[in-house]
Structure 1
C-alpha cells in the first residue's frame, strides 16, 4: 500500500468517525430531545400544566434556533478568517464539540427539579443552556462540513470524502434509534433501580452522556486524522466583513435555489422522522420494536451511501435528488396503508428511508461545488460561509420541525403516559396530517425546485474549476514576471 493511499485511508476513516459522532448528536438533539420533553420531563398529574410547559419549551426552542441561524453565516465568516497552525477549522471543531456535549447533558435534566418547583426559572435556565448549546453546535457543524472543499479540489477525491462522511453520519444517526431505548432502560435499571422496560429521567440522562461523549471523540478523531490541502484556488481567499458575507451568499444564485429546495425537503423529512418514534409508541403500542426500524435504516443507509458513487457516475445528481424524492413519496403511500401491521410499517420505513442518504449527498455535493461557482461568479472564495448554508438549513428545518412535533404531540394526545387506547380517531387523523400529508407536499415541491432551477451539474463544475485554474495560473505567472 502506497504512503499516499495510506494517508487517504486514514483521512477518510477520521472524517467518517467525526461524522458518526456528529450525526448521532444531531439525531439526539433534533429528534429525541422532543420525545424526552413530551414523555418524561413534564409528566405530572396536571395535564393542562404539562401541555402548557411542552408548548412553551417547543416555541422557545423554535424561536432560539430561528434567531440564531442568522448568525450562522457570520460564524462561517469567523471560521474563514481564522488562521492558526492547526488550520482554520480544527480549533472551532474541538471547541464546539466540547461545549455542545456538556450542554447536551444539561438539557436532558430537570435542572434540579425546577420543572415543578419553579417552572419560570426552569424556562429561563433551559433557554440559556439551549442558546449556548446551539451556538457552539453551529461552530462544530459548520467547521466540520466546511472542511470538505479544503480536503481536496479534485471532484473524485472530494466525492469520496463526502461519501465516507455521509456513511459515517448515516450510521451515527441510525445508531441512535437502535440503542436509544435499550440504553435508557439500562441506565434506568442502574440509576433508578427499575425493572422491565421502565424508562426514567436518570435513564435519559445516561443516554445523553453517552451521545455527548461519542460526539466529542468523533471530533477528536477528525482533528487528529485529517489535513487541509493547499492549492492555488484555495489561496484565492479574502477575509470578509459581515455585510460582504451576506452579499456573497445572495449573489450565489445556484446556492440560493439549492437552499430553498433542500429546506423544503429537510423540513418534510425531519418532521416525519421525528414522529416515527411516536408512531411506534402511541399508534402501534410497540416502542420496543422501534429498535428494528433503527436497524433497517442503518443497514439501508450503509447500502445507500455505498451505492452513491456508482449511481452518481451513471445518472448524476439531479436524477438522484428528484428520483429519490419520488421513492420517498411511495414510502408515504405505503405508510398510509400500513395501519397497525408491523411488517407493513417496516416495509414503509425501508422504502421511505433508503433514498434519503443519497439525496443528502446530492445536495451536499451541489453546495460544495457552489464554493467554486461563487468564486467563479463573484471573484472571491468563501468556503465556510458557503458551507454554512447546509447546517443553517438543517437547523432551520429542525427548529420548525421541533415546533411541529410539539404541536403534533399535544394535538394528538401523545404526551405523558398516554397509550394507543387513549388516542381517539380524530387525534389519530391529526397525527397523520402532521406526519404524512404535510411533509409529502413539501418534498414534492422541493423536487420541482431542484429539477427546474438548479443548473450546477458535475460537468458545469468541472468547467468552472478548469477555468479558475487557468485564470489563476495566468495571474500568478504575470506576478512572477513583474
Structure 2
C-alpha cells in the first residue's frame, strides 16, 4: 500500500536532491566563468573528463546497490550515505579558499567537481531505482513516478526563478559569498529531506526473481545486451543534452543577447511552472491518449516554444509575455518527457527480467544518472568551447558574432535535438501497448508459478 506519507516523503527527498543538483546545472558554469574567472574551454573539458570517469563508476554503483543486502533494504542505506557525502562536496564546490593561486584554483575546482559527481551517483541511483519496487501495475507506476518529478521540478522552478536574486541578497552584492551561503543552506535541507526518505519510503514489492550477485563485467553486459535500454540511453541522452544546453546558455542569452538579465527569471519561472503542471497532467494524458501520442507532444512542444523565443528575440526581445509563453510551451514538453522517460525505465526493468531472468533495478537505473551527467558534460563542453570560439568575454558587451553563436546554442541546437529524439523513439522503442502488456502478464504468471 502506497500511503500519502510515503509519497510525500519520497517527493520531499526529490526536492532536496534536486536543489543540490539544480544549483550545479543552472549556475556552476556561470559561477566558474563570471565569478571565479575560469576560462570557458577549460570548464567544458573538465565536465567531459568527469563524465568519462562516470561512465565507469555509475554502473559500478548500480552493481554495488544491487548486491547490497541489509535490514534497511538495498536502496535506503546508499541514499543516506550519498546525501551526506554529496552535501559536503556541494559546499566545497561553491567555496573559494582564501589566498589560493590561479593554478591551485583550477586544480581545486577540478577535484571538487569530480567528487561532487561521484557522491551524487551514490545517492541518485538508488533513489530512482526504488520505483519498480513500489508497484507492478503500469498505471500506478505512472502516478507514483510523477510525484518525485513534480517535487524535483519545483526545485528547478524556484531556484531558476529566484536563485540569482537570493545570491545577490545574501551575499550583499558579493556573488561568490552569496553562492557559498546558498550552497550551505541547500546542503542542510538536502540532508533533512533524505532522512525523511530513509525512514518513511520502503520497498513494497520484492520480486521472487532475486538479482544474483553480479560482477562488473556482468553489469556492463546487462546494459549492452538489453536492446531497449540501449535505445532508452540514446533517447534520454538527446533529451538531457537539449535541456542542459538550454538551461546552461539561458543566463548568457538573456544577459547578453536580450540585454535584460531579469528576463532570465521570467523565462525560468514560467517554464518551471509549466513543467510542474505538465508532470501532474502526465498520468491523465497517458491514460487517455497513450504514451506514443504523449511522446510526440513532448518532442514537438520544445520546437514550437524555442522557435517563438527566437522570433521574440529578434523583434521584441524584452517582451516579458512572449518570453513567458515561449518558456511555458517549451518546458511543458520537457515535463512530459520527464514523466514518460521515468516510467519507460521502470518498464525496461520488467523487460530485463523477461529477457534475462533477473531484476537489476539499480544497474538499469544507473544509466539515468549517468545520462544526466553525461548530457551536462557534453552540453558544458559545447557551451564552454562554443563561447570561446565565438569570442565571449565575461561582463562586457558582446560582438554580433558572439550573439549569433549564443542564439544557436540556446535555440537552434535544442530544436534540432528535440526532433531527433522523437525520430529515434518512433523507429526503435517497442515497449508500448500489447507487447509490453504481454510481458507483464507472462512475468506475473511466472511469479505465481514460483510461489
Structure 1 length-normalised TM: 0.89
C-alpha displacement of 1:397: 0.4
Structure 2 distance, partners of 1:8, 1:89, is 19
Q: What is residue 395 of structure 1 aligned with on the other side?
A: 373
Mapping of residues 136-285 of structure 1, within 5 Å: 136-189=119-172, 198-231=173-206, 233=207, 235-285=209-259
Shift of 1:354: 1.2
Distance in 2, Cα, partners of 1:460 & 1:111: 57
Q: Aligned-pair distance for 1:262?
A: 1.5
Q: 1:316 to 1:97 in 2, by over 3 A?
A: same
Q: What is residue 311 of structure 1 aligned with on the other side?
A: 285
**Structure number, greater radius of gyration:** 1
- Taking the aligned partners of 2:32 and 2:99, their CA distance within structure 1 comes to 14
Is the contact between residue 271 and residue 329 of structure 2 (CA under 8 Å) also seen in structure 1? no
Count of residue correspondences: 447
**Corresponding residue to 1:441 among 404, 416, 420:** 416
Q: Would you say 1:103 and 2:98 are equivalent positions?
A: no
Structure 1 counterpart of 2:23:
28
- Going from structure 1 to structure 2, the CA distance change for 1:277 and 1:61 (only over 3 Å counts) comes to same
Which residue matches 1:56? 42
Contact map agreement 2:161 2:264 (CA 8 A) in 1: yes
Structure 2: state its 5+ residue gaps: none
1:292 maps onto 2:266 in alignment: yes
Asked if residue 362 in structure 1 is aligned to residue 351 in structure 2, the reply is: no
- What SS class does the counterpart of residue 268 from structure 2 fall into? helix
Listed one character per residue, the Cα deviations across residues 213-240 of structure 1 (whole Å, up to 9, x for unaligned) are 2322222221122111234x35432221
Distance 1:234 1:24, change over 3 A: farther
What is the distance in 2 between the residues matched to 1:319 and 1:214?
38
Whether the 8 Å CA contact 2:279–2:338 is kept in 1: the answer is no
Please say if residues 59 and 403 of structure 1, whose CA atoms lie closer than 8 Å, have aligned partners that are also in contact. Answer: yes
1:415 offset after TM fit, Å?
4.2
Unaligned 5+ runs, structure 1: 43-49, 190-197, 477-482
Aligned-pair CA distance for 1:199: 4.2
The answer on 1:17 being equivalent to 2:12 is yes
- Tell me the alpha carbon deviations over residues 425-446 of structure 1, each in whole angstroms, 9 at most, x when there is no partner: 1111111122222222222111
Query: Of 51, 58, 68, which aligns to 1:82?
Result: 68
1:465 lines up with 2:440 in the alignment? yes
Cα deviation, residue 67, structure 1: 2.0
Alignment deviations for residues 114-171 of structure 1 (CA, whole Å, 9 cap, x no partner): 2xx2x22222222222222111100111011011111222223322210111111111
Q: TM-score, normalised by structure 2?
A: 0.94
Question: Structure 1, residues 291-348: CA drift from partner, whole Å, max 9, x if none?
Answer: 2323312321221111111100012222212222111111121111111233322221
Counterpart for residue 349 of structure 1: 327
Secondary structure at 1:105 match in 2: helix
Aligned-partner Cα distance in 2 for 1:84–1:391: 23
Task: Name the residue aligned to 1:376.
Answer: 354
